[in-house]
């Protein structure tokens, strides 16, 4: 009897410490964000912007690996609204992805509470509106995931940590830009570039100390180059991957991408330009901020530091230097390079070619000849409730088609735990940027011209970094490998928002026919229902 009591006591203590440990590591963080219109002057003239809690850009969301985020979004706009969490994998939880094929948009004067976890992630990310062209008015912000105390990072703690949201900007309102797209025209050239929604932000630091700069391109369409006058950039992390810590004079950051940089303030104590300029554009737009040494008595001076050569080849060569740090820990206490992706057998190859066809007399953008149109019901809800007529599996070819372009709700069916190769083939003269929700992927190759099976000979199958967004250079291809270990309905889209809006996107349905909470969480109790899902009740769970 005494042994039984001691055993019960021991189990109770073990359970207590187990629960305490879970609570200590997997904290709950609560937020209430109210979305409104407001007025700001990003380019010197007042214009309507979207504010979150009165801020433009929105609040910086600082989290820790495995934090549980409970965020009540209150929509005070005159249109339905959603936020998506760019780069957050939403493990087993595409219900919270925040795009229109997985969530019903939050109606005006209503709210929705997001519930998601920054599961097994560390790095610099961002959030932005996924509805209509709201992203062109603001509503975006930095989202940083810091390492748990038990996970070391491969650099000393910096003296300061700055988030820089760089991006192109239009004086035309988001409604006006939407009207341009709806009329069958492409977006015009932007009017300027912003850093943190301003024409001249300031970041201060002490001479001799090292500071972290988290740079995200939140613009609509334009690749940007980032540099700091007189200072070197040490790249340490890209979209959740710790990388080989190369030193750069400047760094290209394409639409949707994020990078984390360390900068030593090792120059004379004065003020220096921080510069972001457009890449591969006939007209070069620039934005400047100020790196201010706290002991400085001298304002910024001299010409802006020159950017890199304009050639695509320079940028592609730089992209090839971004490599996984195989000895660095990931979000779990094991080296991130211990996942030997290059030895896994590929189950299928999908080749996706972007194009810019005219359909019904209007400009559209397409993938393998299919230009995506939103259904009246979120695909995730239609899938869950078995609602017919919303989408069809394999409604887009998995290789380029010579048929004419057409409109469709494009979905590719895949199976949970497939390991696939995706090739982005770009036969246009403009650079592209592609993003996949719910995942990161290994960017194993870039090349000019047409991809062929022999292109695999040049793949990096050892230390390609994983990320969630990749560029595809003009008349070139980019190849990625993806382990489909996250069940759900996931958006694969152009990160260039006008192209996404006019159809350059599709969805991957990653599916297992046997329902299991081990593979995917149940439908949220507070799910919003719209379209043909109105009035439906939960099937299971």
Burial 90-123 (b: 16+ CB within 10 A, else e): bbbbbbbbbbbbbbbbbeeeebbebbbbbbebbb
Residue 374 falls inside a structural domain: yes
Q: How far apart are CA 537 and CA 515, in angstroms?
A: 17
Specify the pLDDT at position 333. Answer: 83
Q: Are 130 and 100 in contact (CB under 8 A)?
A: yes
Residue predicted with more confidence, 129 or 24: 129
Say what the alpha-carbon torsion angle 40, 287, 63, 245 is, to the nearest 10 degrees.
Answer: 180
Residue 206 falls inside a structural domain: no
Give me the number of domains the chain comprises: 1
Residue 505 falls inside a structural domain: yes
pLDDT tens, position by position, 512-526: 999 999 999 999 999
pLDDT tens, position by position, 105-132: 999 999 999 999 999 999 999 999 999 9
- Mean pLDDT of all residues in the chain? 94
pLDDT tens, position by position, 65-82: 999 999 999 999 999 999
Burial 469-488 (b: 16+ CB within 10 A, else e): bbbbbeebbbbbbbbbbbbb
Q: How far apart are CA 225 and CA 315, in angstroms?
A: 10
Residue 65 falls inside a structural domain: no
Residue 361 falls inside a structural domain: yes
> Domain range holding 473?
341-533
Residue 21 falls inside a structural domain: no
Could you tell me the CATH number of the domain that includes residue 479? 2.60.40.420
Specify the pLDDT at position 148. Answer: 93
pLDDT mean over 122-151: 97
pLDDT mean over 19-48: 84
Residue predicted with more confidence, 144 or 14: 144
Q: In what order do the strands lie in the sheet with 419-426?
A: 406-408, 370-372, 366-367, 348-355, 419-426, 476-483, 441-448, 466-467
CA proximity to 34, closest of 71, 88, 67: 71
Residue 20 confidence class, pLDDT cut points 50, 70, 90: very low
Residue predicted with more confidence, 200 or 321: 321
Q: In what order do the strands lie in the sheet with 141-146?
A: 61-64, 141-146, 123-129, 83-86
User: Distances from the Cα of 91 to the Cαs of 174, 437, 513, 515, in angstroms?
Assistant: 32, 11, 18, 16
Specify the pLDDT at position 25. Answer: 56
pLDDT tens, position by position, 184-209: 999 999 999 999 999 789 999 999 99
Q: How far apart are CA 180 and CA 79, in angstroms?
A: 18
Q: Are 324 and 339 in contact (CB under 8 A)?
A: no
Residue 238 falls inside a structural domain: no
Does 14 have pLDDT greater than 80? no
pLDDT tens, position by position, 424-476: 999 999 999 999 999 999 999 999 999 999 999 999 999 999 999 999 999 99
pLDDT tens, position by position, 248-269: 999 999 999 999 999 999 999 9
Q: How far apart are CA 166 and CA 196, in angstroms?
A: 6
The residue behind tokens 């209007």 is: 362
Share of the chain above pLDDT 90, in %: 92
Residue 311 falls inside a structural domain: no
CA proximity to 148, closest of 63, 260, 240: 63
Does 22 have pLDDT greater than 70? no
Residue 27 confidence class, pLDDT cut points 50, 70, 90: very high
Specify the pLDDT at position 540. Answer: 56
In 274-376, which residue ranges form alpha helices assigned H by DSSP? Answer: 312-320
């Amino acid at each position: 009897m005494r042994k039984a009591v001691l055993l019960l006591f021991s189990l109770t203590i073990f359970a207590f410490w187990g629960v305490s440990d879970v609570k200590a590591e997997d904290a709950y963080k609560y937020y209430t964000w109210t979305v409104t219109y407001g007025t700001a002057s990003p380019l010197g003239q007042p214009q309507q912007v979207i504010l979150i809690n009165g801020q433009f850009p929105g609040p910086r969301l600082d989290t820790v690996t495995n934090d549980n985020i409970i965020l009540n979004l209150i929509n005070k706009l005159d249109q339905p609204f959603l936020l998506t969490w760019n780069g957050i994998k939403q493990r087993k939880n595409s219900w919270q992805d925040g795009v229109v094929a997985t969530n019903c948009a939050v109606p005006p004067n209503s709210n929705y509470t997001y519930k998601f976890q920054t599961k097994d992630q560390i790095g610099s990310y961002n959030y932005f509106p996924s509805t209509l062209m709201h992203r062109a008015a603001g509503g975006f912000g930095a989202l940083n995931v810091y390492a748990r105390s038990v996970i070391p990072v491969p650099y000393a703690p910096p003296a300061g940590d700055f988030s820089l949201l760089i991006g192109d900007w239009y004086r035309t309102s988001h409604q006006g830009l939407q009207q341009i797209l709806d009329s069958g025209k492409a977006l015009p050239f932007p009017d300027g570039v912003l850093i943190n929604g301003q024409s001249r932000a300031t970041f201060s630091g002490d001479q001799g100390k090292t500071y972290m700069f988290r740079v995200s391109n939140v613009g609509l369409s334009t690749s940007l180059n980032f540099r700091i006058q007189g200072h070197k950039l040490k790249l340490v992390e890209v979209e959740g991957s710790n990388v080989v810590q190369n030193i750069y004079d400047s760094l290209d950051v394409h639409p949707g991408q994020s990078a984390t940089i360390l900068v030593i303030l090792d120059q004379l104590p004065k003020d220096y330009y921080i510069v972001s300029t457009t890449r591969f554009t006939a007209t070069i737009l620039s934005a400047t901020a100020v790196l201010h040494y706290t002991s400085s008595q001298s304002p910024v001076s001299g010409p802006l530091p020159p950017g890199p050569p304009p050639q695509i080849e320079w940028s592609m060569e730089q992209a090839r230097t971004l490599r996984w740090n195989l000895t660095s820990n990931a979000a779990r206490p094991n080296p991130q390079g211990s996942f030997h992706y290059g030895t896994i057998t590929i189950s299928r190859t999908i080749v996706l070619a972007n194009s810019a066809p005219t359909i019904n007399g209007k400009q559209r953008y397409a993938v393998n000849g299919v230009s995506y149109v939103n259904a009246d019901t979120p695909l995730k809800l239609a899938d869950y409730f078995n609602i017919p007529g919303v989408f069809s599996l394999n409604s887009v070819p998995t290789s380029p088609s010579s048929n004419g372009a057409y409109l469709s709700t494009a979905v590719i069916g895949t199976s949970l735990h497939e390991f696939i190769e995706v090739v982005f083939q770009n036969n246009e003269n403009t650079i592209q940027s592609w993003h996949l929700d719910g995942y990161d992927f290994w960017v194993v190759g870039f090349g000019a011209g047409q991809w062929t099976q022999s292109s695999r000979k040049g793949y990096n199958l050892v230390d390609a970094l994983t990320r969630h967004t990749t560029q595809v250079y003009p008349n070139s291809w980019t190849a990625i490998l993806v382990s489909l270990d996250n069940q759900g309905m996931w958006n694969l889209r152009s990160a260039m928002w006008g192209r996404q809006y006019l159809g350059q996107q599709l969805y991957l349905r990653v599916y297992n026919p046997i329902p299991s909470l081990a593979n995917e969480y149940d439908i949220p109790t507070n799910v919003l229902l719209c379209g043909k899902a109105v009035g439906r009740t939960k099937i299971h769970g």
